[in-house]
Chain A
Amino acid sequence: MPQATAIPSAPLVALRGVGKAFPNGTQALAGLDLEVRSGEFVTLLGPSGCGKSTALRLIAGLSEPSAGAVEWSHATDASQGESRIGFVFQEPTLMPWASVFDNVMLPLKLKGALAATTAERVETVLGRVGLAAFRHSYPRELSGGMRMRVSIARALVTEPQLLLMDEPFAALDEITRFKLNDDLLRMWQALRTTLVFVTHSVFESVYLSSRVVVMAACPGRVSSEVAIDTPYPRDRNFRTSADYAAYCRGASEALAQAMAAGGEP
């Protein structure tokens, strides 16, 4: 039984006719419509320069759309919405001068959370990403995969309603990437959060998400959507199944179409 896809729910956040032009004249996005429903795992898939990351930054409120609107469901007003977001960047983006523990505690510190509960929450989330033993290490002393785990732990420590991930595993080797894919799925299910994940890997998008949104470039917009109905939990068997291969073929074709439709960057 698919857990997330079967429940039709109101969108948690919706981009309506969103456009984004940068001061240098680049039209990164135009007429982008995207609804993210509660509990979904949505992947934005597209060629580089199609505005995937820009869309993510708009959802996070890190930049303002130049056209259209980003609408949050009435359950989360705008100010609360901001505090309900976790963001994982392409690089781990850790503070090199702070220990793993302090890095993960940062969002709580900045929000002024009560000291009594913060340590406990940090310990819990570090346990979840399997780094409890490394709490006193510095980022410099960790491998690339471990650093990314710290980054994910930091995003999860506020228990966000919406987790935004911008090609988080692009720089990792395949073995580490597969491992983190599985861990991410497990955490997503355990925490029942909503996830928007940006990638340029067809295989990663199909493996992870309940819905793949294919984007075209120049200007960035939604080209098509592919629903991945395979129920969770997914594991290695899914990776080698005929279903997976078929979904990948479908997504690849959708991507090829999007690239044919997109302008030259």
Chain B
Amino acid sequence: MSARASINERRDRALRIALPIVVLALGLAIWELVVRIENIPPYVLPAPGLILRTLVTDWALLAHSLLVTLITTFEGFLLAAAGGVGLAVLFNQSRLVEYSLYPFAVILQVTPIVAVAPLLLIYLPQHAAVLVCAWIVAFFPVLANATLGLHSVDRNLADLFALYGASRAATLWRLKLPSALPYILGGLRIAGGLSLIGAVVAEIAAGSAGAGSGLAYRIAESGYRLNIPRMFAALLLLSVAGIVIFYLLTLINYMALRRWHESALDPSAR
């Protein structure tokens, strides 16, 4: 009974991994075939094989651009994490600060970053502008989640801390921040992907000014030169970067919470 259940479960897991791979392989094969049979020129639609070859031949150029974009993303992410959590703590400690600043955080969030980026590029040096873009897009989910988490403290535990005369700092450090950790990590998981988007948006905006060297700049530049295979190769790298960032943050989330939080428990251990 349970042996059969575990076999079923294993088959289910194998299918989950195998099926998307099969679909991907089929899609690529059809794409390759259509390009070859119809004789579509590479500047209209390059075949997957050509994109892969471009990735290899242009690797030196693309790897450098990837590194530039990843560093921007990482810096933007760190700023977003620090800024989001820091602001949330500040809001939590002082209602007046929260009332004064929260609306502006919302305004930053709802104004489309694509529209803001060109302005930033006018007033800031390019690297700073790209960073600010990544930060603006990524900090809000951290702020919103951390604020929610800091307010979601078990009331009895808060009473207990009051009973033992805990200081504000002790309550924040030993009660509020740990309570908020699952929420903060959830916010960071969203922020990781968003800071990549912010970096790309800013690079594209800067790309027309012609002074960048990140992956998004490569895409814009290759577009002007009708080097479509390189555009695809750069795009492929961007999406792989996004996937890796997401899974890294998921892993950190799991490592931090696996001992105690419901969200990270192994369902079979119950």
Contacts and interface: CB of A to CB of B under 8 A. Distances in A.
Interface stretch (A80-88, A172-180, A211-219, A257-265): A80-88
Contacts, number: 55
Interface residues of B, number: 20
Interface residues of A, number: 24
Interface string A91-107: 10101111000000011
B165 A62 contact: no
B95 interface: no
Chain A interface main SS type: mixed
Contact of A107 (B164, B181, B265): B164
A109 interface: yes
A82 B156 contact: no
A60 B159 CA distance: 10
B156 A110 contact: no
Nearest to B181: A97
Interface string B228-257: 000000000000000000000000000000
A110 B166 CA distance: 5
B157 A60 contact: no
B86 interface: no
A189 to B, nearest CB: 24
A213 to B, nearest CB: 22
A93 B156 contact: yes
B178 A110 contact: no
A138 B154 CA distance: 17
B163 A97 contact: no
A95 B162 contact: no
B154 A97 contact: no
A127 to B, nearest CB: 22
B166 A138 contact: no
Interface in A51-98: 57, 60-62, 82-83, 85, 87, 89, 91, 93, 95-98
A109 B174 contact: yes
Interface in A151-181: 158
A158 B160 CA distance: 13
B159 A62 contact: yes
User: Most B CB atoms within 10 A — which of A60, A61, A83, A96?
Assistant: A96
Interface string A228-250: 00000000000000000000000
Contact of A87 (B163, B165, B260, B261): B163
Given A139-B260, A140-B259, A97 B178 contact: yes
A110 B164 contact: yes
Interface in B18-32: none
A96 B180 CA distance: 12
Interface string B50-76: 000000000000000000000000000
B161 interface: yes
Given A97-B181, A140-B259, A140-B260, A111 B165 contact: yes
User: Most A CB atoms within 10 A — which of B164, B170, B175, B181?
Assistant: B164
Contacts of A106: 160, 164, 174
Contacts of B170: 109-110
A87 B261 CA distance: 25
A255 to B, nearest CB: 27
Chain B interface main SS type: helix
Contacts of B157: 93, 95
A57 to B, nearest CB: 8
Contacts of B156: 89, 91, 93
A175 B30 CA distance: 67
B263 to A, nearest CB: 12
B227 to A, nearest CB: 52
Contacts of B161: 110
A57 B166 CA distance: 17
A138 B164 contact: no
B16 to A, nearest CB: 27
Given A91-B156, A93-B154, A97-B178, A60 B265 contact: no
Contacts of B164: 83, 106-107, 110-111, 158
Contacts of A57: 159
B259 A138 contact: yes
A193 B160 CA distance: 19
Nearest to A154: B160
18 contacts: A57-B159, A62-B162, A62-B163, A82-B163, A87-B159, A87-B160, A87-B163, A93-B160, A95-B157, A95-B174, A96-B261, A97-B181, A109-B170, A111-B164, A138-B260, A139-B260, A140-B259, A140-B265
Given A91-B156, A96-B260, A138-B259, 11 more contacts: A61-B163, A83-B165, A85-B163, A87-B159, A87-B160, A89-B156, A93-B157, A95-B175, A111-B164, A139-B260, A158-B164
